[in-house]
Amino acid sequence: MATDAPPPSKTGTGLPSTDAFIAVQESAEFGELRRSHRSFAFPLTVAFIAWYLAYVLLSNYADGFMGTKLFGNVNVALVLGLAQFLTTFLIAWWYSRHAAAQLDPKAEAIKSRMEGGA
* pLDDT exceeds cutoff 60 at 7: no
Instruction: Report pLDDT for 15.
Output: 76
Instruction: Report pLDDT for 100.
Output: 95
CA distance 76 to 66: 5
Instruction: Report pLDDT for 67.
Output: 92
Domain boundaries, the chain: 18-113
Distances (CA, A) of 97 to 13, 72, 87: 35, 37, 15
Q: Give helix then strand counts, H and E, for the chain.
A: 5, 2
